[in-house]
Amino acid sequence: MIGLIGGMSWESSAEYYRLLNQGVRDRLGPTASARCLLWSFDFAEIERLQHAGDWPALTERMIDAARRLEGAGAELLLICTNTMHLMADAVQQAVAVPLLHIADPAAEEVKRAGLRRVGLLGTAFTMEQDFYTGRLAARHGLEVLVPDADDRAVVHRIIYDELIAGLVTSASRDAYRAVIARLVARGAEAIVLGCTEIMLLVRPEDSAVPLFDTTTLHARAAISQALGDGS
């Protein structure tokens, strides 16, 4: 049973639900679907606390959600957002069931492709704090490039003003294309889409280098772990 800590935003949580069920159906047959539980936050509250910098309050809420899912029978936990992995270690310490970190499947896929230098797109919290870039570097040996300050502001604004509301525009896609191109010009061999909403906007043809979508790779790894094949 997979426990999903979601609602951050529900747009990406809906993608997790689709990806998990499609993946299980592909693996086990046309009538099969994923055994999962979803705890869905009101993202308005989460967003306010994020931008207020109240990470202790957010950590309390994430631990509470994880414990509720564990108590309901979840055997594997997913935090369905990159940013809230800032408190992944605290959440893991609070429960007995494993938490699958979203950065790890993406990093493993990058390494399987023979690549080492990646550009990272995500919220300002993800791009600017060490909990994510540091894990990619220390645990996986990747060199991580982030956009410059102006580009980080654009990427962050589009996530919070548009993508979490399900708004996808050609102007924003063009803006992301330009940010990606500048990362590639600095030497990025691949781009990690380190926000679970970015896959709603950016497509493979928007980048001259491979894109690694953390949402899809996280869901795929969860299926493999839940089914016990380790692949």
Strands of 2-6's sheet, edge to edge?
A: 36-40, 2-6, 76-79
36 forms bridges with which residues in the sheet? 2
Which stretches of the chain are assigned E, i.e. beta strand? 2-6, 36-40, 76-79, 117-121, 143-145, 190-193, 211-213
Cα(227)–Cα(230) distance, rounded to whole angstroms?
Answer: 8
Q: Is 80 a catalytic residue?
A: no
Q: Which two tokens stand for residue 97?
A: 């069931």
Among residues 36, 81, 123, 196, which one is catalytic? 81
Residue 195 known to be catalytic: yes
Question: Catalytic: which of 195, 196, 214, 215?
Answer: 195
Q: Which two tokens stand for residue 3?
A: 């426990």
15 contacts 215 by C-beta, under 8 angstroms? yes
Catalytic positions, please? 81, 195
